[in-house]
Structure 1
Amino acid sequence: MQRGKKKIKEWKLKDEDTRRQFEVKVQQKNNRNRGGWKQLSENVLEAAKEVCGESTGHRRRRRETWWWNEAVQRSLQEKKRAYKRWQRTQNEEYKREYKEKTRQAKREVARAKRLALENWSEELNSSEKQKEMFRIAKQMKRESKDVMGAKYIKDERGVIKINTEEILGRYVTLKTC
């Protein structure tokens, strides 16, 4: 797979703890390296890479979910290990263990989603979060709309014309009628 340009995950700076870590790193780097604007910008970029991390550079976008946490990660890894063990051995006991791990993983995902949604709802009291919610709602509305207008025309028999000359010929015919 082709790799694109790596990008800094600057969205992580929305978290207060991460933002504080970033500020401390920038201060440390600026205290060590006193220089001009170029040095300052390099220090900021280095601190951002260290604190926030970088994308893998994959062109295919991998979304990070808003509810994902370490417990979900651990639960899904356990489920995956149980599945591989069951597939290797074809043992019924390992199959039951895998099914139990699957149920646990589903419960963990549901718990994480519920907690994240509760946290998000509590934060809606601030005007900044309300603006974010309305921005997301507008985006969802735009994405769900059908595209209006068509870039094709039909002839007298109802066959769609794709060729530009045929479309223009039909358009001229309609105008003269």
Structure 2
Amino acid sequence: MRDAEGFDEFYRGTAGRMLRYGYALTGDLAEAQDIVQEAYVRAWQRWRKVAAYDHTESWVRLVVARLATDRWRRIHTQRLALRRAGPPGHAAAPSDDTVLLVGALRRLPAAQRQAVALHYLCDLSVAQIAAETGTSPGTVKSWLSRGRAGLAAVLDDVTPEAHDVG
């Protein structure tokens, strides 16, 4: 069994310094928090061995430094790939139909919106949606029915010119 109390004491005594160190290495507080957290996770996983070291804090500091270096390598690799590939192309503006549909979906209750999206955008069957959402197929059918009716009502209100054919 690992010495949780000993680890907790070590963590409380060193975490602030490690975060400042990680921040100095990365220049990004959120990234520093992530790598320091990862360093302490690794220390906890090996706590029996790490706790026996003469300089336990040095071991964690080394892990923080290596994780920060890995981050810089990853960023460098991503920049090289971006230079080779060039910037992404211009994204076209969404069509009016897309804007209307997204607006209509946002007006549905969350369960209906999820069921409609899973069924029509992800091509899931009623049974698959029921399994994924932890509900009965009857509930899913109800959500789909109400969702379609809700979408129709919203879209009819938004696009009255569709009915003015004449």
What TM-score do you get using the length of structure 1 for normalisation? 0.25
**Which protein is richer in helix relative to its size?**
2
What TM-score do you get using the length of structure 2 for normalisation? 0.26
